[in-house]
Amino acid sequence: HVFVVSDSTANKVRFEMGFDDTEFVEVMSGVKKGDQIVVVGQNGLKDKAKIRIIKGEGLRIPAKPDSTVKLAEKT
């Protein structure tokens, strides 16, 4: 399962996973291109829970380097 965001609500969706590696996951069904997926804090989340989306520099899936580290190294 994953949580797909719709109108500030996290909806629990069953999906079929295909190929996966440390960075990418192939979705066979259940989630479509453009869906927003909860990637942090989903462990304690319940279906239909109201959520707040946080966007900003350095907020990304842990498999990628955090851009804020580069900024700190330059100063």
- 74, pLDDT greater than 60: no
pLDDT at 64 over 60: no
Please give the Cα distance from 38 to 30 (Å, whole number): 15
pLDDT per residue as tens digits for the range 27-54: 999 999 889 988 888 888 999 999 888 7
Q: Is 10 exposed, middle or buried (0-12, 13-18, 19+ CB in 10 A)?
A: buried
